[in-house]
């Protein structure tokens, strides 16, 4: 067999189109999506990368600004700039170009970025939200890998997934996001004793190490999905340079069912997910919910909202009832039916309680939590964005 290629360029084009539509919708409301990037000193390729980043942002309508700081910038000076951007209501996203000069602690500086403006998803608060299934913003590379897997149509729920590489921006968050999809995840790293023993049983293999040809055909079972996150420059025998991943592409593609090429796989999707994260950050800053069925990180907690206490009982029972059958339902249809059962007529109708409205985030929050609780319990399945069914 020969694996089907996961076309990262085509997937990225669809993500960018969606981002462009949302950015335009915000613009019509007088709301800007504005990303400010910070470049300290002149790291190799830094200015070129920033230029390409600016072009990608502007192509979808995102405003882009680059702040250049001198290499001699102190930690306090950089912190002050980040805090100013955190407070600037016109800035909806912030990113810090790496590497920083050696006298600056990269992790410490990234932690200073407001989690709601953290387009790279590296603030500890954002990683924590992933752990607790309330994902706000996740690292772009990790999101790109997950979207590549989703594009194959493989069921991640219950799949054996092996992630090779335990970096903070790729391997670890990828394993968390796979767990969120209810895959059974093994995270391998430099201390793993027999890598092949793990990868050969996996339905999904994600490799993010930075070592050319680390994974060969011997590591992969027939029909596995292989996601190659690595980007390496090697010198061929004739002296020419070539960009390759961590996977022996020609060998592995003979056994896998799907595989990402390098270049052209996870790379373009990572750029697209930076734009998507910029959109998400703008939504958080402006208080707009773009993800119509993800679990929001906070709740407005109306003290007299009875449905909150029915989340795992009557509400779940009702969701089982309305999702029964072959036809999945959209989140809008689910809201409408839940409103009919638990809506304003059932909760102080004389007060016209604003907390029982399909447009109110608190009501939506509780319904979503019940759906995701049901998914964890194996009762419901999210078959597409905003579409649910009973298992």
Give residue limits of the domains in the chain. Answer: 4-121+270-286, 140-262, 306-390
**H-assigned helices in the chain:** 8-28, 46-59, 75-87, 106-111, 124-131, 140-150, 171-180, 195-199, 249-252, 266-286, 314-322, 331-342, 361-376
Token duo for residue 90: 């016109």
pLDDT at 297: 47
pLDDT at 331: 85
Q: What count of Cα atoms within 13 Å lies in the side-chain half-sphere of residue 91?
A: 24
Percentage, residues of the chain above pLDDT 90: 59
Mean pLDDT across the stretch 250-273? 96
Does the pLDDT of residue 236 top 60, yes or no?
Answer: yes
Q: Cβ atoms within 10 A of the Cβ of 221, count?
A: 14
pLDDT at 295: 52
Domains 4-121+270-286 and 140-262 share a fold: yes
Does the pLDDT of residue 359 top 60, yes or no?
Answer: no
CATH number for domain 140-262, candidates 3.30.70.580, 3.10.129.10, 3.40.50.720, 3.40.1440.60: 3.40.50.720
* CATH, range 4-121+270-286: 3.40.50.10860
pTM above 0.85, yes or no: no
Check: CATH 1.10.10 for 306-390? yes
Mean pLDDT across the stretch 370-377? 82
Q: Report pLDDT digits (tens) over 149-178.
A: 999 999 998 999 999 999 988 999 999 999
Q: Report pLDDT digits (tens) over 86-131.
A: 999 999 999 999 889 999 998 899 999 999 999 999 888 888 877 7
Mean pLDDT across the stretch 174-203? 94
Q: Report pLDDT digits (tens) over 35-81.
A: 999 999 987 777 888 899 999 999 999 999 999 999 999 999 999 99
Does the pLDDT of residue 384 top 80, yes or no?
Answer: no
């Amino acid at each position: 067999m020969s694996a089907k290629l996961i076309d990262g360029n085509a997937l990225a084009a669809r993500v960018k189109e969606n981002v462009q539509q949302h950015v335009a919708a915000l613009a019509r409301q007088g709301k800007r999506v504005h990303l400010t990037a910070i470049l300290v000193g002149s790291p190799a390729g830094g200015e070129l990368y920033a230029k390409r980043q600016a072009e990608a942002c502007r192509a979808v309508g995102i405003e882009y600004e680059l702040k250049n700081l001198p290499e001699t910038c102190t930690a306090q000076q950089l912190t002050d700039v980040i805090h100013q951007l955190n407070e600037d209501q016109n800035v909806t996203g912030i990113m810090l170009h790496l590497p920083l000069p050696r006298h600056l602690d990269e992790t410490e500086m990234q932690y200073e970025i407001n989690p709601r403006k953290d387009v790279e998803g590296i603030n500890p608060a954002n990683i924590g939200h992933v752990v607790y299934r309330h994902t706000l913003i996740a690292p772009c590379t990790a999101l790109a890998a997950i979207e590549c897997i989703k594009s194959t149509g493989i069921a991640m729920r219950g799949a054996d997934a092996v992630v090779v590489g335990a970096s903070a921006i790729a391997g670890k968050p990828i394993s968390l996001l796979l767990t969120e999809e209810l895959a059974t995840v093994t995270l391998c790293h430099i201390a793993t004793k027999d890598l092949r023993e793990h990868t050969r049983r996996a339905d999904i293999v994600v490799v993010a190490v930075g070592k050319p040809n680390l994974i060969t055909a011997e590591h992969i079972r027939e029909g596995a999905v292989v996601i190659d996150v690595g980007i390496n420059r090697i010198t061929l025998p004739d002296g020419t340079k070539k960009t390759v991943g961590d996977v022996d592409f020609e060998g592995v593609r003979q056994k896998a069912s799907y595989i990402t090429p390098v270049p052209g796989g996870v790379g373009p999707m990572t750029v697209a997910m930076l734009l998507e994260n910029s959109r998400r950050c703008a939504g958080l800053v402006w208080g707009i919910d773009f993800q119509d069925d993800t679990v929001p990180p906070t709740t407005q907690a109306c003290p007299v909202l009875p449905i909150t206490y029915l989340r795992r009982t009557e509400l779940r029972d009702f969701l089982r009832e309305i999702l029964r059958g072959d036809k999945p339902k959209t989140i809008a249809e689910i809201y409408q039916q839940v409103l009919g059962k638990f809506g304003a007529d059932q909760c102080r109708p004389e007060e016209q309680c604003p907390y029982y409205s399909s447009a109110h985030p608190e009501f939506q929050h509780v319904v979503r939590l019940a759906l995701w609780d049901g998914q964890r319990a194996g009762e419901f399945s999210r078959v597409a964005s905003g579409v649910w069914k009973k298992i």
